[in-house]
Structure 1
Amino acid sequence: MARSHIAVALGAALVASLIISQLVINLGFPKVEFWHWRLDQSYHGTPQTQFLGEKQSGEQADDPASYIVGVGKADITGPVVELNLMGYANSSQIGTGLRQRIYSRAFIVGNPSDPSERIVYMVLDTQSGDSAIRNGILEGLQAMGPEYSVYGKNNVAVTGTHSHAGPGAWLNYLLPQITSLGFDKQSYQAIVDGALLSIKRAHEGLSLGTLSAGSGKISDTNINRSLFAYMANPESERARYGDDVDKTMTLLKFTRDSDGKSLGVLNWFPVHGTSLLGNQTLIAGDNKGVAAYLFEQDAAAIADAAPGFVAGFSQANVGDTTPNVLGAYCEDGSGTQCRLNDSTCGGKSQDCHGRGPYFALNDGGAKSCYEIGKRQFQGAKSIYGDSGSFKSISGKVRSFHTWVDFADFTFTLKNGTTVHTCPAAMGNSFAAGTSDGPGAFDFVQNDPGAPSNPFWNIVGSAIAPPSKKQRDCQYPKPVLLNVGEANTPYPWSPNIVDIQVLRVGQLVIVVAPGEATTMSGRRWREAVHNQIEASGIAKDPIVVLGGPANSYSHYIATEEEYSVQRYEGASTLHGPHTLNAYINSTLTYLPYIADDVSGTIQPGPTPPDNRDKSISLITGVVYDGAGIGRSFGQVTKDVAPNYAAGALVQVTFVGANPRNNLRLEGTFAAVEKQNGDGTWTQVKNDEDWELVYQWKRVSGLLGTSDVTITWDTGLTQPAAGKYRFKYYGDSKAGGKITAFEGTSGEFSLA
């Protein structure tokens, strides 16, 4: 579906999908209607003449290393309760609160003398980019006035950090919608609105500046979760690399000319957003969200960092990586490692789980997540501080985007063989899941045969039975779900995929719509690097791969990995030649990022836009009740008067459903510290990892609920003093939503 462990609820999801389809036919569900949030229409951006004027006044007018640069960040936290989390495809993983808000971070680079030469690279704390989200962003930019017309399809890249702990129900295709019970416009709109706001803030802050790139090795943050498949790649190829996953982080620094301050950093490093496990239900940005938070917090103490410093931790060739760096073990009491070839314990996948640094804490992966995020932050900070290793970026700003139909894309390999891709399909091992999130049924990885339970043949045939041509095309993948030819009630998975590349000087960003495995990413980058050098587009290019982006197209395994049919190969949609098709398409259009571009790239076939077709079985908030003798925001379990440093401090309030108001750019929970004059200052809020907001339904009939706020004072060692909690909520009654506040008792922290 839409993430690597979608199979966790596959059986229930498939049955649900059939029911949904029949309901649509029989009952005629209404279409989802959309509204498009408008930014302040009185704002028309920074006039381009400002940059032209600055250049004409003598500020590096002819320096190819001088760009206009801007960074922006905005809240995209959707519903934190009563909605399925996006990533593990576990229909029982329903949000119950918030560990840390999630964000969109936008990075703009442009040519000061030519407004048309711009790129926008977006890093969203979501499972991936997506067609629905990207369409919403592009439509929003068009509505923001002529100043934003420079941003469009060709130069805007929407990537996700691949967190598995964000709200779901915002994707374009049916398959990832199944476990979330369809499409939720509140979840969708929160992401689109926040993404637009992050671009607006980056645009408003545009200034003359420079870019520089550095790199460094982070050795303790990722391992290969599918080593058996990786080993199928040629030994001679594997011998060229010291590791079975990429350990190098590439970091881009944005520096403002006027004062030499750093506006932010954008880096690429591959590690799955699966530190937080499938059994935890709090919203967060997973390890990359933590890494970005730590860098942005730390920037306040960095002398050359500007206020509003933004840190983007983007994914790379993430497909077969895992943050569970201790390896995969059998959680059946044996304590043995899972079987290498199929990640099973006693022949079943359910007991095979990857272990993070603090797996023994049984905290849903929270401490392991923080640790893996901290390691990425420390690696990025080390690169940032090593100024001698940076290379200045100079040269043209270029970009292209097109769509290619991979349902039957014919092309020629380097050896002269003509091959083609296939309509999208999932294999048996897709349903087995991975050691980060095993499947719930009788499937195992590395399984090229027929399902052991004939029920799955019936289900697969009911969706869209694969033809002999499709089975032959996908071979050796046994087709479990023929999703590329399933269009009832609307398309299940993408056949039309994005091909996009951004260039700033010698930095070239390959924007991948799927999760490229380690070796796939290496081959793709190398092919682009070689052609750029051979064609003279740039000398000594720095090629990075970012994704999953734009339209989520699941996995991209090498042909050799595909032949093994572990999870990654089974989830490579378009057959064994998928990777080579992406490489071929990318190289075909590379001339469009040359200095002297001739002609206009054709947009390609238009993929389906399912936003106005998507089903939603997600119910809204009907009403909230405080309960007899109680009021909203009332404390029901107060704090103690005194706590030692390192203690967990907790309070419970009479709550209301947080879906009534997402409080974007705000907070549900806060900690305040008393000042010497008796006033109070907020010191912690929803952005902070150590402050957790949990919501619990008490009575569905009465509409009552509790909110518990917990502060882990041991994480950041706050100063001694007097503190209190604040709770900000919104209740619904008679269709009206009313804001309220709650305040805990005061407590001293020694």
Structure 2
Amino acid sequence: MGYADPNQIGTGLRQRLYSRAFIVADPVDPSDRVVYLVLDTQSGDTAVRYGILSGLEELGQDYAYYGHHNIAVTGTHSHSGPGAWLNYLLPQITSKGFDQQSYRAIVDGAILSIRRAHESLAPGHLSIGSTKVFGANINRSLYAYLANPEEERARYNISSGDDGSVEKDLTLLKFQRASDGKNIGVLTWFPTHGTSVLGNNTLVSGDNKGVAAYLFEKSVIGDDTAADGFVAGFSQANVGDTSPNVLGAWCEDGTGQMCSFENSTCSDGRSQKCHARGPFFRANDKGTSSCFEIGKRQFEPAKHLYSQLNQSPNPVRGRMVKSFHTFHNMSNYRFELPNGTEVETCPAALGYSFAAGTSDGPGIFDFTQHDGNPNTTSPVWSVVSGMLKEPSGAQNACHSPKPILLDVGEITSPYQWTPNVVDVQVLRVGQLVIIVSPGEATTMAGRRWKNAVHDEVSRLFAAEPKPASPVVVLGGPANSYTHYIATEEEYGIQRYEGASTLYGPHTLAAYINVTLSWVPYLSSVSNRPPRGPEPPDNSNRSLSFIPSVIHDAAPFFKSFGDVVHDVEEMYRRGSTVGATFIGANPRNNLRLESSYAVVEQLDAATSRWRAVRDDGDWHLVFSWRRVSELLGTSEVDISWETEPWAEPGRYRIKYFGDAKGFTGTITPFEGLSSEFEIAEE
């Protein structure tokens, strides 16, 4: 969904987006199984999850094992994917509504990945381990993090390189087939935002998590220990206050100063010129180089840990596979804190600092983090806020100290703007316990949630034969999108994360309370908790103002696929090869499981051409632009950033397109560049 900027309209592909499915089943009782999906999307989603469940039901009895209770739909939180597929109105606004094509692509891809995982189910072994990842995340709201108790923070302050302000631990689960001992996949959890690629980018990619998965899957091709079709899932964790832009937030105003510590503003007192910097921020490539580097920094320690587990397996102990899922209404939920104090959550609302954005993606106008309120912003915003829904005195008191900008949880016209009903889900595989979070938990919020679950399941495990110490991870944002989950102390600071914590200061405590109440269902009991109040599925009634493709046309005396700018005859390895074709709108055919562009290499021995790159490769870029809206003409640029490992030889670029005529008929076509040579440097 990009950066919620209506002007950030997609123009092509840097990298294909994928759904990666992982299924674990109890070999004795195959009805006990869990599915963990890692989608290259901003988050999981209510409508998407409903669509997946409906699609699996249509597949018949073989898929009757799968349902609400055991399917987790998580997103890598990439900010470089298409929008207009989320269930609630608020995130749809900047995407001009809801797009069935985007929605169906995600749902159908997720179902296909589950089918492939289901069809490849076989007896196997699981190994688990953890390692440190350095240089891939920092805390972008350190001022809020420091509001947490000093004693609590000190428990996680290990060294100057691991000071506890973000989690540096990557947990990896390795899947090995028993029949031949080959590894079939890995699933990892590590927190860093999918915001390496910047807000001025218009090419689709999986951001740094997509890079990490791409590098891992490429690295095992030809490895005798890995099976064909090896799948690497790089899932998010407690990502809320993390940033991959590890050089920090700086003012792009000529002062050479870092942004203010408290509210991330610059010399003009505003946030718009405060931008976080990735490791290669000086490259004028919209964050692409930094993105690849942060992905690489996750891939390399994960691959090293994978190799260690190959040599010295650390088996997951216990064969029990359990899960629970329930829906819970977070508006006005009354419960007791562990100290006996009775508290209450609130209908969803967003504070003024929500509109300030973050240093990864600054907001607009005069909104600032931490001190944003009606007194520090234009009075226009109070009027706008009141026109949408004037929060009641009780709502203001419930959310205090958050000054409410958007009382979204109490707006139901034309349909709900944000969720009040949330997903609460936990999966168990042996001693591994996965909290499936619908929101972006901050570093400390995730720790508190994991610690509470760890203590509770430890008591549960103690009653089982040969109990093992629990390994608890948190994955998300998943199943829906409930914005952020900050600690009560961070909430009080009201930076972006606190202002985006929907259900008031006790949001985290409520999630923990509800989660712990259902933990007994992770034992040998066979029943499930009640479903709870189901949230709406808005996929068939959402508004859409996205214009359809009217028609495509080639210029006079030209044909679709003709070359406008051809390749040169010779390139040195490391240079960029490019060709431009007369094209058509790629929305005519998303070419799922296929490609818009390939690089073909001539096999000298057989004199045949074979595809060696496609638009799923990071270094092959597909870009489309409309030349004339009136005439319907467009062009496509295909560029190959030749890698240091590119094999010298003879190549050509091939383009696959689909043109829409005035009658609505869509006709496929192809384009082909001239041949060119790649030579060593």
TM-score by length of 1: 0.88
Give how far 1:598 is off: 5.7
Matched, 1:645 2:573: yes
Distance 2:222 2:369 in 1: 47
Aligned equivalent of 1:352, options 274, 298, 301: 274
Q: Which residue of 2 aligns with 1:704?
A: 633
Letter in 1 for 2:445: S
Partner of 1:747: 676
Alpha-carbon distance between aligned partners in 1 of 2:261 and 2:60, rounded to the nearest angstrom: 56
Task: Point out where structure 2 has 5 or more consecutive residues left out of the alignment.
Answer: 158-163
Partner-residue secondary structure (3-state), 1:367: helix
Q: 2:390 aligns with which of 462, 465, 481?
A: 465
Per-residue deviation, 1:116: 1.1
> Secondary structure at 2:537's aligned position in 1?
coil
TM-score (norm 2): 0.96
Aligned to 1:535, which of 460, 465, 480?
Answer: 460
What is the CA deviation profile of residues 659-715 of structure 1, one whole-angstrom value per residue up to 9, with x for unaligned ones?
A: 0000000000110001113210100001100000010100001100000001101x3
| Residue 482, structure 1, aligned to residue 425, structure 2 | no
Equivalent residue number for residue 218 of structure 2: 297
* 1:113, distance to aligned residue in structure 2 (A): 2.1
Q: Larger deviation: 477-486 or 113-122? A: 113-122
- How many angstroms apart in 1 are the aligned matches of 2:478 and 2:59? 23
Task: String of CA shifts for 1:365-394, please: whole Å, max 9, x gaps.
Answer: 000000000111101101101126642112
CA distance in 1, matches of 2:133, 2:86: 32
Counterpart among 643, 664, 668 of residue 735 in structure 1: 664
Matching of residue 622 in structure 1 with residue 550 in structure 2? yes
Determine which of 591, 594, 597 is the counterpart of 2:525. Answer: 597
Question: Is residue 2:133 matched to residue 1:210?
Answer: no
Quote the offset at 1:612 in angstroms: 2.0
Q: 2:447 aligns with which of 511, 514, 522?
A: 522
Give 2:321's aligned residue: 397
State whether structure 2 residue 650 is matched by structure 1 residue 722.
Answer: yes
Task: Give the total of aligned pairs.
Answer: 663
- RMSD of equivalent CA atoms: 1.0
Distance in 1 between residues matched to 2:644 and 2:88, nearest whole Å: 41
Q: 1:135 maps to which residue?
A: 50
Q: Distance in 2 between matches of 1:664 and 1:536?
A: 44
Percent identity over paired residues: 61
How big is each residue's C-alpha offset from its partner over 1:26-53, in whole Å with a ceiling of 9 and x where there is no partner? Answer: xxxxxxxxxxxxxxxxxxxxxxxxxxxx
Check 1:646–1:603 CA distance in 2 against 1; reply closer, same or farther (3 A cut). Answer: same
Structure 2 CA distance, aligned partners of 1:740 and 1:557? 51
Alignment of 1:44-59 (within 5 A): none
SS of aligned partner of 1:372: helix
Task: Kindly indicate whether the alpha-carbon contact (under 8 Å) linking 2:46 and 2:537 is maintained by their aligned counterparts in 1.
Answer: yes
- Structure 2 CA distance, aligned partners of 1:144 and 1:298? 34
Alignment-derived partner of residue 367 in structure 1: 289
Q: Secondary structure at the match of 1:116?
A: coil
Alignment counterpart, residue 343 of structure 1, candidates 261, 264, 267: 264
Structure 1 counterpart of 2:410, one-letter code: E
> Does structure 1 residue 584 correspond to structure 2 residue 542?
no
Distance 2:358 2:530 in 1: 38
Letter of the 2:623 partner, please give it: Q
CA shift at 1:362, angstroms?
A: 1.8
Tell me if the contact between 1:214 and 1:389 (Cα under 8 Å) persists in the aligned partners: no
How far apart, in 2, do the equivalents of 1:566 and 1:588 lie? 31
* Equivalent position SS for 2:397: helix
Equivalence for 2:242: 321
Counterpart CA distance in 1 for 2:461 and 2:678 is 63
**Superposition map of 1:448-463 within 5 A:** 449-450=373-374, 451-463=376-388
Matched, 1:230 2:145: yes
- Deviation per residue, 1:457-483 (Å, 9 max, x gap): 111111111000000000000000000
| Superposed displacement of residue 599, structure 1 | 4.0
Aligned to 2:353: 429
1:632 and 2:560 correspond: yes
Task: Tell me what 2:160 maps to.
Answer: none
Alignment match, 2:488 = 559
The CA distance in 2 between the partners of 1:613 and 1:210, in whole Å, is 45
Letter in 1 for 2:608: T
Structure 1 residues 547, 407: CA separation in 2 closer, same or farther (over 3 Å shift)?
same
1:662 to 581, 590, 593: 590
* CA distance in structure 1 between the partners assigned to 2:541 and 2:667 by the alignment: 32
Does residue 575 (structure 1) correspond to residue 504 (structure 2)? The answer is yes
Give the alignment partner of residue 241 of structure 1, picking from 147, 152, 156: 156
| Separation of aligned partners in 1, 2:259 and 2:377 | 21
Counterpart residue number, 2:616: 687
Greater shift in the superposed pair: 533-542 or 521-530: 533-542
367, 371, 382: which is aligned to 2:304? Answer: 382
Whole-angstrom CA distance in 2 between matches of 1:129 and 1:390: 32
Q: Any conservation in 1 of the 2:485–2:498 contact (CA below 8 Å)?
A: yes
Distance 1:362 1:603 in 2: 50
| Equivalent residue number for residue 159 of structure 1 | 74
> Within 2, Cα distance between the matches of 1:555 and 1:362?
31
Aligned equivalents of 1:325, 1:340: Cα separation in 2: 15
- Aligned amino acid, residue 550 of structure 1: N
Deviations 1:509-542 (A, max 9, x none): 0000000000000000000001111233653000
Shift of 1:302: 2.6
Classify the secondary structure of the residue corresponding to 1:95. Answer: coil
Confirm or deny: 8 A CA contact 1:215 1:250 kept in the other structure.
Answer: yes
Map of 1:53 onto structure 2: none
Pair 1:407 & 2:335 matched: no
Note if contact 1:342-1:446 (Cα within 8 Å) is conserved in structure 2. Answer: yes
Shift of residue 493, structure 1, vs aligned partner: 0.3
Structure-1 separation of matches of 2:181 and 2:495: 49
Pairwise CA distance, 1:443: 0.6
Counterpart residue number, 1:46: none
Mapped contact 2:84–2:99 kept (Cα < 8 A): yes
Q: CA offset at residue 250 of structure 1?
A: 0.2
- Contact 2:324 / 2:528 at 8 angstroms: preserved in 1? no
TM alignment of 1:86-235, pairs within 5 A: 86-235=1-150
Name the SS of the counterpart of 2:666 in structure 1. strand
Residue deviations 1:107-145 (CA, integer Å, cap 9, x gap): 000011212101000000000000010000000010000
Shift of 1:559: 0.1
Provide the rounded CA distance (Å) in 1 between the counterparts of 2:431 and 2:410. 40
**Equivalent runs, 1:485-524 vs 2, <5 Å:** 485-524=410-449
Contact 1:215 1:389 in 2 (8 A): no
TM-fit CA distance, 1:614? 0.3
> Cα offset for 1:87?
3.6
**Once the two structures are superposed, what CA deviation does each residue of 1:281-310 show, in whole Å capped at 9, x if it has no partner?**
000000000100100000114321111000
SS at match of 1:610: coil
One-letter amino acid of the counterpart of residue 607, structure 1? P
Taking the aligned partners of 1:120 and 1:730, their CA distance within structure 2 comes to: 35
Query: What CA deviation, in whole Å up to 9, does each residue of 1:721-746 have, x standing for no partner?
Result: 11100000000112100000000000
Query: What's the secondary structure of 2:398's corresponding residue?
Result: helix
Query: Could you give the per-residue CA deviations for residues 80-114 of structure 1, whole angstroms, max 9, x where no partner exists?
Result: xxxxxx04101100001110000000000001121
**Superposition deviation, residue 600 in structure 1:** 3.0
The SS at the match of 1:444 is coil
Runs (4+) of structure 1 exceeding 4 A deviation are none
Q: Deviations over 1:577-620 (max 9, x none)?
A: 000000000000000001x2164310011112211220001111
Kindly indicate whether residue 254 of structure 2 is the aligned counterpart of residue 333 of structure 1.
Answer: yes
1:674 paired residue among 594, 602, 607: 602
The 2-side partners of 1:201 and 1:589 are apart by: 31
Match of 1:533, SS?
helix
8 Å contact 1:448–1:476 — kept in the other structure? no
